[in-house]
Copies of this chain bind each other. A is one copy, B any other.
Amino acid sequence: MQQLLIQIRQFSTISNETEELLHNCFEQVVYPKNHQLVTEAAVCRHLYFVEKGALRGYYTLDGKEITHWFGFENDFVTSFHSFITQEPAVENIQLLEGSILWSISKDTLTSLFNNHPEIERIVRIAYEKYYIRLEERYVNAQFKTAAERYEQLLNDSPHILERVPLGQIASYLGISQETLSRIRSRL
């Protein structure tokens, strides 16, 4: 729980009262490797903070699994589209390792928004950061070659490469596993 609060303090200064509140609203959950946290077509009602572990978000296209993000320690994860709209998710979230998560429900978060402007601010700032990161990834995905994207991943997030099978990394980079293998042999 300390770890979660430290992370939140990086978004915005928060009062002791609010910290206390968050303490009561997040609940620890522990799941084993390969557990399915969110399933396609179900509504995702929780937001999770990763204390320890690794997850991936993926969906199915032409019968193939496409991994489009990974989550590790100190990340907030959920199926954002489903969590925000409360419509059925189009993606799955699966644990890559046994993980310790902290969970808050959509309803609890909504009531926090209504009673505590400080929380609204934290989330607004969190979105700003996530938005900027997504924007950067978008530009990379569309306008750089596969080899450049791989090298960028190598620079920015080497931990992903160590904890995730090659096939999932390839689909994350938007290329086939064979192409990724060839890029690596060239370096």
Question: In the complex, what residue of chain B is closest to A116 when comparing beta carbons?
Answer: B117
Q: How far is the CB of A47 from chain B (nearest CB, A)?
A: 12
Main secondary structure of the interface of A (DSSP, over half): helix
Q: How large is the interface on A (under 10, 10 to 19, 20 to 34, 35 or more residues)?
A: 20 to 34
A172 to chain B, nearest CB (A): 9
In the complex, A27 has a CB within 8 A of chain B: no
Interface residues of A in 100-124 (CB under 8 A from B): 113, 117, 120-121, 123-124
Query: Which residues of chain B come closer than 8 Å to A174, judged between CB atoms?
Result: 142-143
Q: Are B130 and A131 closer than 8 Å at their CB atoms? A: yes
Complex CA–CA separation, A144 to B157 (angstroms) = 25
Interface residues, chain A, with chain B CB atoms under 8 Å away:
59, 61, 66, 68, 80-81, 84-85, 113, 117, 120-121, 123-124, 127-128, 130-132, 134-135, 137-139, 141-143, 174
Jot down 11 A-B pairs with beta carbons below 8 A, ordered by A: A68-B138, A68-B139, A80-B131, A80-B132, A80-B135, A85-B132, A113-B124, A127-B127, A134-B135, A137-B138, A141-B141
